[in-house]
Chain A
Amino acid sequence: MDFSREHIEYRVKQIGDSSLVWLKTLNRYLQLEEPAFLVFQQFADGLIMKEIVQNFAAEYAIPEADARRFVSEIKHRFESLYREFQVPDDPGVPPPARALPFLSYSERNIKVSGKIIRFTFGDSVMEKYLFPHFAYLEFDTDQPVCDLHVEFLNHHGKVFMKVNQEQLYAWPANQIYKLKGALFMQILNEIHDEIKGEWMGVIHAASVSLGNRAVMFPARSGGGKSTLASLMMAHGCSLLSDDFTPIALNGGIHSFPGSISLKSGSLPVLESYFPELMETRESQSPSKEEAVRYLRPQQPEYPANGGFSYAELASSVQVHAIVFVQYKSQKACELERISNLTALNDFLTESWLPDDARVSEKFLDWFFEIPCYTLHYGDNLKAVELILSLLKDVT
Chain B
Amino acid sequence: MSPKERSRSANKNISRKEAISKAGKYAVFTASSMMLILNPVKAQAEPSPDLPPDWYY
Cβ-neighbour of B44 out of A66, A285, A353 (below 8 A): A353
20 contacts between A and B (CB under 8 A): A31-B35, A34-B6, A36-B34, A41-B7, A54-B11, A55-B10, A56-B10, A58-B10, A60-B23, A61-B22, A74-B34, A76-B31, A77-B37, A88-B46, A181-B49, A202-B49, A221-B55, A287-B57, A349-B39, A355-B47
A14 to chain B, nearest CB (A): 6
A-B pair number, CB within 8 angstroms: 158
A53-88: which residues lie under 8 A (CB-CB) from chain B? 54-56, 58-62, 66-67, 69-70, 73-74, 76-77, 81, 85, 88
B48 & A185 in contact (Cβ 8 Å cutoff): yes
Closest A residue, CB atoms, query B35: A36
**Complex Cα–Cα for A250 and B50 (A):** 23
Q: Which residues of B contact A (CB under 8 A)?
A: 2-4, 6-7, 10-11, 14, 16, 19-20, 22-23, 25-26, 29-31, 33-41, 43-57
Cβ-neighbour of A35 out of B2, B26, B49 (below 8 A): B26
In the complex, which residues of chain A have a beta carbon less than 8 angstroms from the beta carbon of B44? 27-29, 348, 351-353, 355
Closest B residue, CB atoms, query A62: B23
In the complex, which residues of chain A have a beta carbon less than 8 angstroms from the beta carbon of B2? 14
A16-41: which residues lie under 8 A (CB-CB) from chain B? 17, 19-20, 26-38, 41
- The reply to whether the CB of A184 lies closer than 8 angstroms to some CB of chain B is yes
- The reply to whether the CB of A377 lies closer than 8 angstroms to some CB of chain B is no
Cβ-neighbour of B30 out of A55, A73, A287 (below 8 A): A73
**Chain A interface extent, by class:** 35 or more
Q: A37-B3, A74-B34, A77-B31 are in contact. Are A55 and B45 (CB under 8 A)?
A: no
B14 & A204 in contact (Cβ 8 Å cutoff): no
Q: A59-B14, A351-B43 are in contact. Are A288 and B36 (CB under 8 A)?
A: no
A149 to chain B, nearest CB (A): 19
B29 & A182 in contact (Cβ 8 Å cutoff): no
In the complex, which residues of chain A have a beta carbon less than 8 angstroms from the beta carbon of B11? 54-55, 58-59
In the complex, which residues of chain B have a beta carbon less than 8 angstroms from the beta carbon of A30? 35-38
A135 to chain B, nearest CB (A): 13
* A258-280 near B? 1/0 per residue, CB < 8 Å: 00010000000000000000000
* A191-211 near B? 1/0 per residue, CB < 8 Å: 000000000001010000000
**Complex Cα–Cα for A70 and B34 (A):** 10
A177 & B51 in contact (Cβ 8 Å cutoff): yes
**Complex Cα–Cα for A31 and B52 (A):** 23
